[in-house]
Amino acid sequence: MADLFYSVGNDLESQIELLKTDILTYAKTLGYKKKSLPLLHGKAENMSNNILIVQPPFKGKKHFSDDEFKALIYTMGKFGILNYFVTYSHPVPLERHTKNEIKKFSTWMSKLIEMISPKLIVALGEEAELVFFRRKFILRDFHGTVVDQHAGIPVMISFPFDYYASKSSYEDRSYKKYIQDTDWTAIKEEYDRRITCQ
């Protein structure tokens, strides 16, 4: 693994580029062939005053462009969550993301968190939780709540956005909408407590 101790004097963009170079080297060992690897979506001015949303591992063709990501951005806008960064719990597309691969990526996630200094983290889905915790918090029991901390930062969990789009014989759309609205109302309340909006 390459050195993760980056110069504190560098701006966020150059620090992210160094981190991406490390991750790209790792990604190539997994068969990733592209020359770049999108890692973070958000605005640099939100550094140290943001909520970090950690999505499930990336499974699509283009980072930060699928329907689930668009639904996330729409939902944050609807709830007035404007100071954010979004990333993946594992950004390399794999046929199957194992627990070990997600855990391995958590080293870089910790460095990313150190760089952007979020005041609140939201892990979407049980796979995203694995970046932060050894034990899994069952979503149906803990969704919409702060379950623990990572590096002193509160971590909430909620359902990934593909959950709301999927059909289920025992959960209808109105129930899922209720869950989504309840969770994101709780996330917004935590956001308002911790993030300063201008």
Q: What is the pLDDT of residue 51?
A: 98
Q: What is the pLDDT of residue 10?
A: 54
Pick from 25, 26, 6: which is nearest to 14 by CA?
6
Q: What is the pLDDT of residue 147?
A: 97
Q: Provide CATH code, domain 12-194.
A: 3.40.470.10
How far separated are the first and last CA of the chain, in Å rounded?
40
Q: What is the pLDDT of residues 28-46, one digit of tens each?
A: 999 999 998 899 999 988 9
Q: What is the pLDDT of residue 198?
A: 61
Q: What is the pLDDT of residue 171?
A: 75
Q: What is the pLDDT of residue 2?
A: 32
Domain boundaries along the sequence of the chain: 12-194
Cα separation of 17 and 13, whole Å? 6
Per-residue pLDDT of the chain (198 residues; tens, 9 = 90+): 333 333 344 576 787 788 889 999 999 999 999 998 899 999 988 999 999 999 999 998 899 999 999 999 999 999 999 999 999 999 999 999 999 999 999 999 999 999 999 999 999 999 999 999 988 899 999 999 999 999 999 999 999 999 998 877 677 888 899 999 999 999 999 999 999 876
Q: 3-state SS of the chain?
A: CCCCCCCCCCCHHHHHHHHHHHHHHHHHHCCCCCCCCCCCEECHHHCCCCEEEEECCCCCCCCCCCHHHHHHHHHHHHCCCCCEEEEECCCCCCCCCCHHHHHHHHHHHHHHHHHHCCCEEEEECHHHHCCCCCCCCCHHHHCCEEEEEECCEEEEEECCHHHHHCCCCCCCHHHHHHHHHHHHHHHHHHHHHHCCCC
Is 0.85 surpassed by the pTM of this model?
Answer: yes
Q: What is the pLDDT of residue 8?
A: 41
